[in-house]
Each structure stands twice: as structure tokens, then as C-alpha cells.
Chain A
Amino acid sequence: MDSDMLAGVIEGILFGAGDKISLSELCQSLNKTPSEVRFAIEILKQDYQSRARGIRVVQVKDTYQLSTKPENYEYIKEITKRQEKTGLSRAALETLSIIAYRQPVTRIAIDELRGVSSSSAIQRLLDRGLICDGGRLEAPGRPILYKTTNEFLKTVGFSSLKEMPEYEVFSQGRQEEFNLEIMTNETPKKETSHEEMLTEMLEKATGSEPSAEAAQ
């Protein structure tokens, strides 16, 4: 099975399952190495970048799932008549930002930063599965430390925490660049053939990335 075919098979699996599928599940059922599967998924992602495609691969950590492209939502919602989801409140968003950049963090630390009580915001974030209990601080009362979940990554569209812009970007007021990036990052870059992509990936792989193979 060549990489293009593998990409097709994986697309089928993701579509058929609907649910998110992990890298290790794919490797196991296809009897392929993580790098082979990763490469095939890159092919898939690349193909999806075309404006002629309405699907994208959503990656959170090492799990993959298909979804429609957000930029087409305007047109899709017309036909699905989907109920608009309500976003997070301002208080919840502030609390979430603090947890995302300061994790693991206690409620007291969040309260102090915001100058008001955050317990109800924390409860809402817990209910929505965006944050979770990340252990206890070894201090009087052993307060709970909060950290963000994979659901958080999915909600704000990051594939890992490393993808978040650094804190300094905001403290130095450079966030405009990043707001722009959200709007443009899914437009097709230059057309690259799969062979070029492979060499590019190989170069990257030899540079660093011990990642999944080591973890397997």
C-alpha cells in the first residue's frame, strides 16, 4: 500500500468512525508505523487545503477527527438549521486564559489576578470539560490545581499547548499578528507534490522529533 492509498484508507476510517481516532489505533489496525501514518495524514491535510474540499482533519495531540471547515459555516448552517452554540462568558474566558497560561494553577491565584471571585467560572469550565483537576498544591488546605484538557484544545482549535502563542506575544502587544493568522492559516499555500512533502518531513524528522515512535 503506498502513501496515497493509505491516506485514502485513513480518510475512510475517520469518516466512518465519526469519532476521534488516535494515532496508535490507526497504527495498530493498519499495521503501519507512526511515521507512515503521520505522513499519510499530512497528505490528507494537504489535499483538504484546496478550496474545492469542505472537510478538514482536526488534530488534538495524537488524535484525529474530521470536521467541516469553519470558514464554510455560513453556508452550511442555512441547510442544517443548527442551533447556534453559545460561547463562553467573559468571566469564563478570562479564567480559561489564566489557566491556559499559568497551569497548573489554584483558584486563589486566579481570583487574585482577576480581582474577583472565579469559582462559578471555574465550575462552568469544569462542566464543559475544558479544564480538570490537575493534582493538589502542597500547601495548607491542599488546594486543587487546575489545568486545561484536550477538549480545551479542540474548542480553541489548537493541536497542542505548544501551538499557543507565547505569553510575551500578548504582554508586548503583538497579538494582532496572531489574530490575522487565524483568518488566513487555512488558505492553500503553494502547491507541493507529495514527494516534496516527504523530503520536507524527512528533513524535519532528522532534525528533532523523537516523539511517538519512542512512546510506542
Chain B
Amino acid sequence: MLRLEKRPSPSAFWEKASPFLAVILTMIAGGIMFWILGKNPFEAIRTIFWDPLFNDQFASYSRPQLLVKAAPLILIAIGLSLGFRAGVWNIGAEGQYIMGAIFCAAAGLAVYPVESRLVFPVMIVAGALGGFLWAMIPAILKTVFRTNEILVSLLLVYVAQNILAMMALGALRNPEGGGFPGSRNLSQIPAMANPELIAGTGMHWGVVAAFMAVIAGYILLQRHILGFQIKLAGQAPRAARFAGVSPARLVILCLGISGALAGLAGMFEVTGPAGQISIDFNVGYGFTAIIVAFLGRLNPVGILFAGLLMALTYIGGELAQFMLGLPSAAIQAFQGMLLFFLLATDLLTNFRIRLGQRKAA
């Protein structure tokens, strides 16, 4: 019989190798699924993992798009990872993302058509503030009334979606849009646009911010006292309290930072790739980022890679859909499988698999 034996310390080899093993296992399982659906499995796998990066026809376009797609995921996941380490459960990043976009668009459009270099920085601050304030609702309710932050942050996503619809239909609606919903296209207003900084790279300010967040997250966790407190509070809450870490302060900080980063992600998205406030502006980055945070093992560098991998499956999945006619549901199921295998193979890092019966202790 197989059994698991905990390693005295995590295996450095498997820590690096297990994601590759997971991808290979996913290719096999996914290939079987594609084969059942009547598609050529090798072609499907190649289209998902290879074509976005190296196909002659697409790659020069889709490679930079990886950064565009991954940036909001990484930015949000870095913020969430701090809270998750400390045991603060912000499930509502989606709502903070929406509010960041709304605040930023409102700030920018309030001064329209002023053309000043100050507009964009002000919008950045407004975006971060929007996400921060929205996250402060669960934070304050938690610290003052001990209301569970999972419930409050999650339900506030739906409220934010309602506010988004109101804004797209009402206050922020493009007055020159003939009564149709949706704001002015911010990416077409020079003072408010978040453009591609170097042509053909996909690099926009949101990508820059995501990289900066990775570095800042790394330094915070490795070098800063706050990072130490966060880790301590997660691993040993009682010890943390004795060490003088205030739980209320941690709740405010963790929710505040993750809210602000989610708000920033919304801000860079609405001024760049998405372009405008619309009823369906949010596409689930806030929820996907939770997966990204854990796939990256709550580690900033890991989150960077996890975000890029998720982006690859999105873009490769899109290619597979219209090149091969795979249903989008098959791609969803495929992504689910990939996550299962990534999570499962992580086992090899911390455990040895042994044959035979358990020895008597």
C-alpha cells in the first residue's frame, strides 16, 4: 500500500519540478478529454501551450498579451497573499477591483476635458483609494463588531456590481453615446489613457505596477517587521498576540493593502485594456486571483509565475476554441484539471511516497 511520509524539510528538487510534472499530467488527462470530444489531442495541447508562445502566425501578438492578461491577476494576488498568510480572508477582491475602476473613472471624467499630466496620477490615487475604502468596510466591521470578513467582502461584490451598472447607466454614462450604457472610452483620452509603453511588448503601467508589487511583496515578507508579523499571525496567532502584534491592526493593514492593490488593478484595466466603465466591466479577476495566490504558494515570485501560467491557459484556450472548435466549457474543465494537478503534485515537495505498511511507532 502507498502511504505518505512527511519530509523533515521541503524537497528543493520537487519544489521546482512538481509544476512541470503537473503540466505533463494535465496534458495527458486533458488530451484524453479532447480525444473523447472528437478532437486531435496533440493538436489541442500544442495549440494551448505552444502556439501562444511560438506560433509564427500569432506569437508576436499573443506573447505580449500574456503580460496584459497576467498583470491584474498578479497585482491582486500579491495583495491577497498577505492577508491569506495572516488569516485574513478577503474573498471580495472582485468588488474592490470594480470600485477602484469606478473611483478612477469618476475622478478622471470629473475634470474632462482637462489635458494635464497630473490627471493620470490623480486617477491612480483615486483607483487605489476606491479599492481601499471598499475593503475598509469589511475591515472596520471586523474590528469593531467582529463581523466575519468572508461574508461581508463576498456580498459586497454583488453590491459593487450593482453600483457598476448604475454608474454605466447613469452618472458616468458617455453623454455623447446616444443613450447607450457605458462611459467615455478612457483609453482614447490622452490624459487618462494607460497606453502600451513600448510598442509590441504589451507593457503598460499596470504591468509595471504588478512587477513592482512582486518586488515590494518580496521585500516586505523577507525583510520588514510587518512581513514577520503577518507570517507569525498566520502560523501562531497566540504567539503573535504575546509578541505585541495587534490583530485589529493586521486586519486593517491586510484588507487595506489588498483592497488598494485590487483597486489599482481595476484602475489600470479601465484606463487601458478595457477602456471604459461598462455593465460587464469585471470578468472575474478578483476570484481567479485567489487561485493564483495559492498556486504561487502565497509567495510573490511564485505568484508571478502562477499568474503567467493562468494567462497562458486563457490565451491558449481561446486559440484552441476558434482554431479547433473546442467548446469553451472544455477549456474551463481543462483549467480546472490543471489546477487540480498543480495542487496535487505539490504533495511531492512536502511528503515522500512510500510503499508498504506503516511501521509500528
Q: Is B a genuine binding partner of A?
A: no
Q: Which residues of B contact A (CB under 8 A)?
A: none
Q: Which residues of A contact B (CB under 8 A)?
A: none
